[in-house]
Amino acid sequence: MKWILQMTIRKRERSMFKLPSIDKRFTTAELIIQFGLDPTLPIADGYGHHEDCQWFVQEVEKTDVDWAVEQLRSTIEQLRDKNLPVDKAFVIIQRAFKSAKYESKRGILYYKGSKKPCTVRGITIRVVHDKEIRRENEWRFFYG
């Protein structure tokens, strides 16, 4: 367990911490230590709280959306099983992605060839490109 305490924030986790509307932030290591998530299961990069009282789970990936969804799914299920709130889920993509299972339409992740959005326990997974976070209109992704 000592190795977890020495973990630092990975580069890809840092995107979450730049947004000024976030008042509580928890990294992967903190999810394991403070919330008791199972380290043998996939865990998302972060869990946080917006000042507008919404809790979110976030995964930052370069291109692998399939793996990001699996990490979000596992994290949301573990948090919900512990009666912890989750209102939104995001995959922050750093490059254009290719996926056998999913496609993005207007910032929402859909199953390919379907009009059905990808959800985990009723939470629609949103897709945000890293470049969009740096723009002035970034807030539409987090509040829409």
Radius of gyration of the chain (CA): 14
Yes or no: say if 28 and 7 are a contact pair by the CB < 8 Å rule.
yes
Q: Which of 25-34, 35-44, 60-69 has the highest mean pLDDT?
A: 35-44
Q: Give the whole-angstrom CA distance, residue 106 versus residue 126.
A: 9
DSSP per residue, 102-144? EEEETTEEEETT-SPBPEETTEEEEEEEHHHHTSGGGHHHHH-
pLDDT given at position 133: 65
Yes or no: say if 117 and 124 are a contact pair by the CB < 8 Å rule.
yes
Where do the domains of the chain lie?
Answer: 11-143
HSE-CB at 38 with a 13 A cutoff on CA atoms is 11
How many residues can be counted in the chain? 144
Lowest mean pLDDT among 18-22, 34-38, 98-102, 106-110: 18-22
pLDDT tens for residues 63-111?
788 999 999 999 999 999 999 999 999 888 877 777 888 888 888 999 9
pLDDT given at position 50: 78
DSSP 90: E
Residue 141 has pLDDT above 50, yes or no: no
Collapsing DSSP to helix, strand or coil, 93 comes out as strand
